[in-house]
Structure 1
Amino acid sequence: MTLSDAPMIRQAPISVALILVLVVAAIDGGFVESTNAAYWATWATLGIAVAVSILASAVHSTALGIAVPFISMVAIAFGRAAIGPTVTLLLLLCVLWIALLPGRRWVVISGLSTLAAVALSYVWPTTVIDPTHVVMELVITPLMFSTIAAVINRVIEDNKARMESNELLVRQREEALADAVDLVSRLRENEAQLESAGYLFRSVLDSVTRQSVIGTDLSGLIDVWNTGAQTMLGLNAADVVGNRYIHEFHRDEELHERARELGYPAGATVLNPGFSALVEVARLGGSEDRDWTYLRANGDEVFAHVAVTPRIDENGRTVGYIFVGADVTDKKELAKLQDEFVGLVSHELRTPVSSILGYLELMRDATEPPLSDEQLQYLGVAERNAHRLLRLVGDLLFTAQVAAHKFPIEAAEVDLNGVVQASVESARPASQTANVLLLLRPADSHPVVWGDATRIAQACDNLLSNAIKFTPRGGTVSVNVSIEGEFARIAIRDTGMGIPPDEIAMLSTRFFRASTATRSAVQGVGLGLSITKAIVTAHGGELSAESEVGVGTTFTFTLPLRGRAA
């Protein structure tokens, strides 16, 4: 109920009090003996009291209800004129009503209204003016009633402020409760989605049966173990998750070797050095593919190609690592057999081919009986093919040495300009025969590298031979030597048939040949680039290729300058 609601409820005590006072006065006979003015004042009081009561009951909560207490003050003023100062206390009820209205101005209005009501009673002819009471009634009474009104008004405002604050707090709590309910609902939905995603994730992991997927925390403790890992390593997830560490499935010798590669000094204090050797690259934010030997539960060894990547949370922080491994035991065995076969065949072929070349040379040098031109031509063809076969045997032997990490490097200071120029001059007859323009641009200075001049020349010869072989007649092969920082750079560019982008990564694989080469029936066995890459890598350099089909190819390899060699 607001301050102006139900005016009749507030007016009723005032009207009842006025009527009771008048009834008591009538019983005492006070107004009967009074003058006619007192008589009419009494009836005026009654009439106004009844009228204002009717008004109060009619206006209900409208703004007209504010006028009710002021009209009641007029009735009380007539009551003072009819009966005397006793009725003055009834003004307090009107003042309290007015004080309930919002705003400090109603305190002043209530005081002024009290003063006006008292003054109005003095105007009536029957009122006896007592000078000693005039000051009190015209000054003290309004001030006292105003003070009471101010206190009531302040209390009401404070209560209203507290109520508004409480209502605001209640609304905030209701909103917070609604938000909490909504949050709980969303959390339940998210939980359901997470459960669904987790189920899907587990299903995907379990469906990967040919690769092992192993997840760990930052310490290496395993928390993910899929069906492929179970098949590969012979242990169930229940036996591993939360109980075993990833490095326990690796050979200590391999972990120590990897630690030395990473530069961990012997005896260094490294927390869990075995695990650190596995994840060092991933710990720095990268990923690493590497061959490792896994140890099965029964002690058997499994050769696996393992990719290690960091696990990142929603805030971008590394919270663990993922190891995805593929069993390459069969491939390892096949590669080993292949290397043994290549080495064996190469050794077995080298001796008879050398013998054939020796006898061909004896036949060419024989004077009795002299050979005809046609016979000499046949001998030349045989010699060329025998030399080609001998070079192929040499390449096969070299690749076997590379696979066994045993090919020799006789290091010394090498003038790179001189080596490249010699390779270009050696390739010039072949380029002239193929009608391919061969250009050389040496470095302005003289780059000196530390390495094996014969092997570096072999790498240049292989790249030049390929460039000329795969460039159509009228094309160009350009060789540029330059210095970039602490490295020498050799770039060999041709205008040939090019290589498809998806095949570039396979170029250094033994016996691999690009599809453009096989379609064009260009001779070769696919060993030159693998040999070149092995030579460049052994010298601490890098080999790269850029190509566009129908436009040409650029092979580039870098070598560290003197003092930078590994």
Structure 2
Amino acid sequence: MKRKKTLQWYVVENTLIMAVILGLVSFLMIFFFLKAELIQEKENTLFHSVEDRSLMVDSFFRKTQEVPQHIATSQIISDFLKGTISQEEVHTYLEGYLFSEDYLVVYIMDSYGKTIASTDESFLNKNYGFRDYFLVPQKTGTGYLDMALGVTSKELGLYFSQPILDIQGNFKGVVVLKTKENLVQHDFAYEKKHSVVVSYIDDRGVVFSSDQQKNIFKSIFPLEDIEKEFVEQKRYVGQTIFPLEDVFISQEVFGEYSSLVGEIDYNYGNVIFAYAQVGDWPVYLLVQEDGSFLESVYLLTVYVGLGIVGTILVSGVILSYLLMHLFKPITILEQKMENVIAGNYKEKINEEVGKIFELSRLVHSFNVLVQGIVQSKKNIDKVVVDQTNRLAEQTQDLEDQKVAILNILEDVEEERDKSVLLANDLKKFQLAVEEASDHIVITDADGIVLYANNAVERITGFSREEVLGQKAGSPANWGGNMDQKTYIELWKTAKDNKKSFEGAFKNRRKSGEEYIAKASITPVLNNRGEVIFFVGIERDITQEKLVDQAKTEFVSLASHQLRTPLSAINWYAEMLLNGDAGHLTVEQSQYVQEIYRGNQRMVELVNSLLNVSRLELGTFLIEPTSLQLIDIAKEALEEIEIQAAQKKIKIETTFPKKLAKMNLDKKLTYMIFQNLLSNAVKYNQEGGKVSLTIKADKKYVQIIIADNGLGIPKSQHDKIFSKLFRADNVRETDTEGTGLGLYIIKSILDQVNGKISFVSAKDKGTTFHVFIPIKGMKRKEGTKSLS
């Protein structure tokens, strides 16, 4: 058996581990703190140095730019461009400005970029109009500094250019001073250090001067294609520009910051860099220094680490010596404990062995424990006798329970037979659902499909695997075409109100073909009334809709065809009644009047059928204008005054004192008033009452039309807005109605985002509530208005 570690060893081991961990943490904290401080100090020093140097280079550039400025404004150049001075005189004049060994050539370009005078004859008659040092002064009228590889000299140089302007400020040409590119060799350059790299960069991010030759004609970040094409074809002709091996800055950062300082951690060590723009010139000074300055930090941390290791070793030796004397009494305690385990309960330890307070308490506890074990043994022996007697009694009880269990098993067998019958019934139900012709799905409370029958695959084209786990009716399967209003109403009805939702809307098969589905979504509730599932049943009614549309189109066509002969009948009947075809007898006049009244009813029916077809086909137009709703209401009231007076019906009106004009289609609004008011009079009793109330809130203008007439039977409330429907009590009173009026009104209000509702009971009158949005009606394009 493997010997276990002693407590002394555990204390020493864990103490040393903690010491090592604390030492390592201290070592790392010192290292990273010193490194961060040194890097920060180096960055600040380097950045201020770069800024100082860029100011010196800026001064140098300004002094050099004074040469082309002086030449461009001289009278000699002006006379030369006028043709009054020869080229030789200008040549001599220009050579006088080559007073520095850094100045290579001075030349004059005309307004087209052609060199017309130069201190170097190889430049004459050459066109440099494609260079920035010509294009920028030509465009801006100001001086410019460009760096370029000479097309003629094949040498890299700095090109200081200045536009030549006449008295009126017109562009006449450009003066160019080309100088050597030796910025890093001037007295304002950095002292040479092996760890420092000094470079000058143009405004495109390309190094054109550096004390590291390998860096010249390389970009500090990958160039975009258009930038690369520009610098290779117009600035450094004949050179292929590649990015530096160690790219440390992005094009976006370079374009945003004119100066920057930072640190990059490469595989071979840290590098500190700083760059700054030289004045307003398209030149940047970049200085990089490697991380050799961090060697002192590494050396110091090594010394600190060695000190920590030595301290840990010495502390471990001292701790081991102290613990060896401290744990000696515990060894004695261990021997006594083994004797007790062997059955010798008379063992005791002299409490003076533990000189330390905690150890003396441990010895005392041992002696108390031994006394407790002796007493416990006595108690256990007594308990064993008692338990033996109790087991005998329990054996008899188990025999009695065995008989009871056999009886229970017989009951379970009977229940099992019932469960088998129930399972068979469920299987039949499942088969019925699977083979149902309607599309049936079961979802969770969030609409995620848990079950789909065979009809889902047949109707939608989506397999069960594609549907299960997806949200029912979403764009991922057969949905996505439902308008937002219907979607909100569906979830509000089924989930919030916990009622069945029924409706029809467009769906989309997997092939992309759209179809019309009539759907019923019913919530399934648990005992607490919470929605746990939804059962959705859909039926493809595309063909029924197409047939219905064909019927509507046929009605529209037939109605149009009937209008012409009906108009002719109406006209001839009026002529006969007016005596235009000769005097009629009383009997003949009665016949013609019956023809005229019957024809009027037919015209009214044809107009209603046309209105229904235009509403269902969506071809009617809405033309809102700014109107006063109360004025339209008064016009409708005037039309029914005679009819109301004949039946002695009293009409009451309540209008607001101030009601702003609204955008309304007068014909549609009039139809709403005319239909509801005429019904209120037509189906009212002799001497009855009709009231018209108009009021407004923040969202709607509400029209309330009430009567105390026939009313509507409660059993027929849900059908009142159906096409061609008339209540039973109304049909008994008046046989001439079409059953289309309220259907048309409801369809109009649906189109203008309005609402209509009613309260009614048989023989107790009816109150209709019409809501029109306070914003009015929106324009709708169409082919015909309603009749």
Cα drift, residue 456 of structure 1: 1.1
Q: Equivalent of 2:521, from 288, 308, 325?
A: 308
Residue 561 of structure 2 aligns with which residue? 348
- Matched to 1:414, the amino acid is L
Structure 2 CA distance for partners of 1:236 and 1:452, relative to 1, 3 Å: closer
Is 1:279–1:321's contact at 8 Å kept on the other side of the alignment? no
Cα distance in 1 for partners of 2:643, 2:525 equals 55
Please give the per-residue CA displacement for 1:66-94, whole angstroms capped at 9, x wherever unaligned.
xxxxxxxxxxxxxxxxxxxxxxxxxxxxx
The 2-side partners of 1:151 and 1:229 are apart by: 76
Q: Which residue identity is paired with 1:308?
A: I
User: What is the Cα deviation at residue 532 of structure 1?
Assistant: 0.9
2:442 is aligned, of 184, 209, 215, to 215
CA distance in 2, matches of 1:388, 1:374: 22
Output the amino acid matched with 2:643: A
1:313-366: CA deviations, max 9, x gaps?
Answer: 667665554211245355424422321221122111111111222233444555
Which residue identity lines up with residue 214 of structure 1 in the other structure?
Answer: V
Higher helix share: 1
Q: What letter matches 1:442 in structure 2?
A: T
- Identify the match of residue 401 of structure 1 among 597, 614, 630: 614
Per the normalisation by structure 1, the TM-score is 0.56
8 Å contact from structure 2 (residues 482, 505) kept in 1 = no
Counting only pairs closer than 5 Å after superposition, residues 86-485 of structure 1 correspond to structure 2 as 203-204=428-429, 206-207=431-432, 209=436, 211-217=438-444, 222-226=449-453, 242=468, 246-247=472-473, 255-256=480-481, 258=483, 282=494, 288-293=501-506, 303-310=516-523, 321-329=534-542, 331-365=544-578, 369-370=582-583, 378-433=591-646, 435-448=647-660, 449-485=662-698
Amino acid at match of 2:606: V
Output the CA distance in 2 between the equivalents of 1:510 and 1:159: 96
Note the aligned Cα RMSD (angstroms): 4.9
Q: Which has the higher strand share?
A: 2
Partner of 1:65: none
2:557 is matched by which residue type in structure 1? L
List runs of 5+ in structure 1 lacking aligned partners. Answer: 1-147, 172-177, 264-276
Match status 1:511 vs 2:724: yes
- Residues 1:202 and 1:431: Cα distance change in structure 2 (over 3 Å): farther
Structure 1 pair 195–468 and aligned structure 2 pair: CA distance change class (3 A):
farther
How far apart are the structure 2 equivalents of 1:560 and 1:514? 29
Contact 2:650–2:687 (Cα < 8 Å) also in 1: no
Q: CA deviation at 1:481?
A: 1.8
Which AA in structure 2 matches 1:438? K
Does the Cα contact within 8 Å between 1:475 and 1:494 map onto a contact in 2? yes
1:216 partner amino acid: T
Q: Against the structure 1 CA distance between its residues 247 and 536, is the aligned structure 2 distance closer, same or farther, given a 3 Å change threshold?
A: closer
Q: Could you state the TM-score of these two structures normalised by the residue count of structure 2?
A: 0.42
Larger radius of gyration: 1
8 Å CA contact 2:470–2:476 kept in 1: the answer is: no
Q: 1:398 Cα shift?
A: 0.5
Give the Cα–Cα distance (whole angstroms) in 2 for the partners of residues 194 and 460 of structure 1: 64
Cα separation, 1, equivalents of 2:678 and 2:625: 25
How far apart in 1 are the matches of 2:696 and 2:727?
30
Q: Partners of 2:611 and 2:371 in 1: how far apart?
A: 113
CA 1:344–1:150: 2 relative to 1, 3 Å: closer
Amino acid at match of 1:356: I
* Residue range with higher mean Cα deviation, 289-298 or 382-391: 289-298
Count of residue correspondences: 391
In the alignment, is the contact (CA less than 8 A) between 1:250 and 1:295 conserved in 2? no
Stretch of structure 1 that moved more, 437-446 or 457-466: 437-446
Tell me if 1:556 matches 2:781: no
Q: CA deviation at 1:292?
A: 3.6
**1:454 deviation in Å?**
1.6
1:379-426 per-position Cα deviation (integer Å, ceiling 9, x unaligned): 444433333322221111010000011221111223222222221221
Question: 1:377, CA displacement in angstroms?
Answer: 5.4
CA distance in 2, matches of 1:383, 1:475: 30
Q: Write the letter of the residue equivalent to 2:537.
A: V
SS in 2 for 1:472: coil
Q: 1:285 to 1:490 in 2, by over 3 A?
A: closer
Residues 536-563 of structure 1 show CA distances to partners (whole Å, capped at 9, x for unaligned) of 2222211112211121111221111236
**In the superposition, relative to structure 1, how do residues 149 and 361 fare at CA in structure 2: closer, same or farther (>3 Å)?**
closer
Q: Are the counterparts in 2 of residues 533 and 542 from structure 1 also a CA contact under 8 Å? A: yes
Question: Does the 8 Å CA contact 2:665/2:777 hold for their aligned counterparts?
Answer: no
Mark the CA change 1:457 to 1:297 in structure 2 (over 3 Å): closer, same or farther: closer
Are 1:497 and 2:710 counterparts?
A: yes
Q: Is the 8 A contact 2:477 2:510 kept in 1?
A: no
SS in 2 for 1:512: coil
The unaligned stretches of length 5 or more in structure 2 are 1-369, 395-400, 780-787
Task: Tell me the distance in 2 between the aligned counterparts of 1:482 and 1:193.
Answer: 66
Residue identity (%):
24
Q: 1:360 to 1:234 in 2, by over 3 A?
A: same
Change beyond 3 A, Cα 1:354–1:328: same
| Residues 1:488 and 2:701 aligned together | yes
Q: CA deviation at 1:529?
A: 0.5
Q: Distance in 1 between matches of 2:438 and 2:636?
A: 46
Aligned pairs for 1:501-540 (under 5 A) are 501-540=714-753
Structure 1 pair 192–413 and aligned structure 2 pair: CA distance change class (3 A): farther
